[in-house]
Amino acid sequence: MNSKKIVVVGSTNMDMVIKTDHIPVPGETVLAGSFFMNPG
């Protein structure tokens, strides 16, 4: 049997996007309006 070798070099990333009414200040907790993930 003839076996072949495979080498994978790289990475995969996911963007997590959270939409809010405003940018929170340090220490502030805000509720998200929506959340989605995209490959990036």
Q: Is residue 2 part of a domain?
A: no
Q: Is residue 8 part of a domain?
A: no
The pLDDT value recorded for residue 32 is 92
What range does the domain containing 18 cover?
13-40
Domain count, the chain: 1
The pTM assigned to this predicted structure is 0.51
How many other β-carbons are positioned within 10 Å of the β-carbon of residue 39? 7
Q: In Å, how far from its chain's centre is CA 15?
A: 3
Strand partners, 9: none
As a whole number, mean pLDDT of residues 33-40 equals: 92
Model confidence band, residue 2 (pLDDT cutoffs 50, 70, 90): confident
- Is the per-residue pLDDT at 1 higher than 90? no
As a whole number, mean pLDDT of residues 10-20 equals: 93
Q: Is residue 1 part of a domain?
A: no
Of residues 40 and 26, more confidence is placed in 26
Q: Is residue 40 part of a domain?
A: yes
Q: Is residue 17 part of a domain?
A: yes
The average confidence (pLDDT) of the chain is 92
